[in-house]
Amino acid sequence: MTFEATYLGSNGWLIKFKKTNLIIDPWLKGDLIFPPGEWFFKGSLEEEILLDKEIDIILLTQGLPDHCHVPTLEMFRKDIPIICPKSAVETLEKIGFGSIKMLKPTEKTIQSNLSFEATAGAPVPQIENGYIVKDDQSNGFYIEPHGYLDKNLNKQNLDAVITPTKNLELPLVGSFVKGAEVIPKLINKFNPKFILSSTVGGDAKYSGFLNNFITVHDYEEELNCNLVDLKSMQSIMI
């Protein structure tokens, strides 16, 4: 076993390495509301998600509310190390976090026994982050929550890829989550042992004007890979 991955629903993951517990884009309590208000888009959890492990590092892929969720982040101690894109820094500083490491695509950092390499993620509209995360034995994974793969990344073998596996589309805008499109590219780039489905799962309910126009499209071709679709709070040993 190299690590244990627990799906928290939506974009959230808890990754337990041997020495370090890493939480990614957590939404554990409270509503998820996009500006200009809940009439536009609102997500509600069935119940608060409780964690039984101490968290060592928080990793954020974006500064948007469904990745940088203020009510959830306020639950954590303020000295916990956070790795994030530029778009999340102001929000984190307002909450009171004191150990913030901002990464731009291609930049790297080491925290505890883990290495983090930021990759170019979704343009929403600024370029957000994906990440390649590895432990000191070079075991690890790639994560990006909108299905955007940095074309400048070198081919390499990874234990897992965490990605959406469906497309989410809006009229006129087209696909803003490109999970169905990116899967073959991820397999070619990383040759992963597992693909972990993310972004559109969990026990949340959504409402609001925007939600009425979102359509979901699956990947229709047969996949030559180990695709894992976890329910909320289910885990897999990688």
Q: Using CA atoms, how far apart are residues 160 and 149, in angstroms rounded to an integer?
A: 15
Query: Helix, strand, or coil here: 218?
Result: strand
Percent over 90 (pLDDT), the chain: 71
Q: How many CB atoms lie within 10 A of CB 80?
A: 16
Q: Which of 12, 94, 89 is nearest to 55 (CA)?
A: 12
Q: Using CA atoms, how far apart are residues 50 and 233, in angstroms rounded to an integer?
A: 10
List, for residues 27-75, the tens digit of each pLDDT value: 999 998 888 888 888 888 988 999 978 999 999 999 999 999 999 999 9
What average pLDDT does the segment 182-197 reach?
Answer: 94
List, for residues 119-164, the tens digit of each pLDDT value: 999 998 899 999 999 999 999 999 999 999 999 999 999 999 999 9
Kind plus residue range of the DSSP H or E element containing 216: strand 215-218
Q: Using CA atoms, how far apart are residues 38 and 212, in angstroms rounded to an integer?
A: 13
Is the separation of the CB atoms in 8 and 202 below 8 Å?
yes
Average pLDDT, the chain: 92
Is the separation of the CB atoms in 233 and 8 below 8 Å?
yes
- Cα dihedral 113, 117, 118, 119, rounded to 10, equals -140
Residue length of the chain: 238
Q: Using CA atoms, how far apart are residues 102 and 232, in angstroms rounded to an integer?
A: 29
Task: State the pTM of this model.
Answer: 0.94
Q: Using CA atoms, how far apart are residues 62 and 87, in angstroms rounded to an integer?
A: 7
Residue 220 has pLDDT above 80, yes or no: no
